[in-house]
Amino acid sequence: MAKRVFSGMRPTGRLHLGHLAGALFNWVRFQDEYDCYYCIVDWHAMMSDYSDTSSITSNCREVLLDWLGVGLDPDRSTIFLQSHVPQHAELHLALSMIAPLGWLERCPTYKDQILNIQNKDLSTYAFLGYPVLMAADILLYKGELVPVGEDQSAHLEISREMARRFNNFFGEVFPEPQTILTKTPKVPGTDGRKMSKSYGNSINIADSPEEIWEKLRTMMTDPARERRKDPGDPDKCPVWDIHKVFNNDMEERDRLSEGCRTAGIGCIDCKKALYSHLMGILEPVQARRRSFESSEDDMIEVLRKGARKAERVAAVTISEVIRAIGFIPR
């Protein structure tokens, strides 16, 4: 039997090139090898934005469209919304019974976010338990492999510990999920920092060609190259970092790099080359995206079908959990 992959994304709106290179390209490939469960974790989105849930629905829609556009295939993968499968909440409750507070309080992302995110009140019961809900998401499907970025590895460690702890108390129910760490380097945004929705520096998968060019045209380059006649250093240029991820034409890359170092080409020439590679990748993605966008019914059907399939697996896990704990079976 193919190993089971589980991964989720929070519905925060349109996805960007960082998501594409850091996660989605791999997720698409995994469909050939594994039994994949891809979940839009809308309860997690509520957790950090409970005071205003008005964009969750449209954000779920954008994420789903981006996923379908890049080639996640509802006939090969199980694509669904977390809130459509009620067993996520049930397993979260069961795991919360045995989740030691110390594990959660010590989690580095928790400490970091409580300190750094000042425009939201995150001092809630559920926010502390974020990794418990994440563990429930994965363990509900007995996910064996979890592709995550390095930023999530502390959470995944808690998922493993939760599986171990449950099994120690109640008998072997859950496999310990393993990480598949994505090797892609961080994709920088237009200001040179990590591309991230919260920095407002992202180039989105669904941006129009005009928007993409405008973002690239004004994107930061090697700061030492002030004028066209100054030689540049690609190793100090965020545009070059994006080339390295999305441009596989090595001959062209050698030419551009040489041209930059000798001031033989200007930044705009280099950006034009990158634009054409990006559009080569994004055009078919956007066309597939549009074909789903035009039919709301198709999108709803994808989610319904995914939820039905996910719930069949989830219900079996929950009955095992109930038996293991020793409750009277339903």
List interacting residues with ligand ADP (CB under 6 A).
9-10, 12, 18-19, 21-23, 148-149, 151-152, 182, 184, 186-187, 194-198
Nearest distance in Å: CB 219, ligand ADP: 14
Decide whether 187 or 216 has the Cβ nearer to ligand ADP.
187
38 CB-side CA count, 13 A: 29
Q: Work out whether strand 178-181 and strand 78-81 pair parallel, antiparallel, or are unpaired.
A: unpaired
Tokens of 32: 């050939």
Task: Give the three-class secondary structure for 38.
Answer: strand
Question: Of all residues in this chain, which one has the CB nearest to ligand ADP in the complex?
Answer: 22
Nearest distance in Å: CB 186, ligand ADP: 4
Distance between CA atoms of 143 and 140, rounded to whole angstroms? 8
Neighbouring residues of 214: CB distance < 8 A, sequence distance ≥ 6: none
Decide whether 23 or 206 has the Cβ nearer to ligand ADP.
23
Contact 80, 163 (CB under 8 A): no
Decide whether 165 or 197 has the Cβ nearer to ligand ADP.
197
Nearest distance in Å: CB 319, ligand ADP: 32
Nearest distance in Å: CB 149, ligand ADP: 3
Tokens of 177: 């999920």
Q: In what order do the strands lie in the sheet with 35-40?
A: 78-81, 35-40, 4-9, 145-148, 178-181
Decide whether 80 or 166 has the Cβ nearer to ligand ADP.
80
Nearest distance in Å: CB 200, ligand ADP: 10
Beta carbons within 10 angstroms of residue 241's beta carbon: 18
Nearest distance in Å: CB 20, ligand ADP: 8
Distance between CA atoms of 33 and 44, rounded to whole angstroms? 28
Write the DSSP assignment of 122-183 as a string of letters: --SHHHHTHHHHHHHHHHHTT--EEEE-GGGHHHHHHHHHHHHHHHHHH-S--PPPEEEE--
Nearest distance in Å: CB 296, ligand ADP: 25
Decide whether 4 or 19 has the Cβ nearer to ligand ADP.
19
Decide whether 12 or 59 has the Cβ nearer to ligand ADP.
12
The CA-based diameter of the chain, rounded to the nearest angstrom, is 78
Report the C-alpha dihedral over residues 23, 25, 30, 31, rounded to 10 degrees: 120
261 CB-side CA count, 13 A: 8
Q: Work out whether strand 78-81 and strand 4-9 pair parallel, antiparallel, or are unpaired.
A: unpaired
Nearest distance in Å: CB 48, ligand ADP: 10
Nearest distance in Å: CB 275, ligand ADP: 19
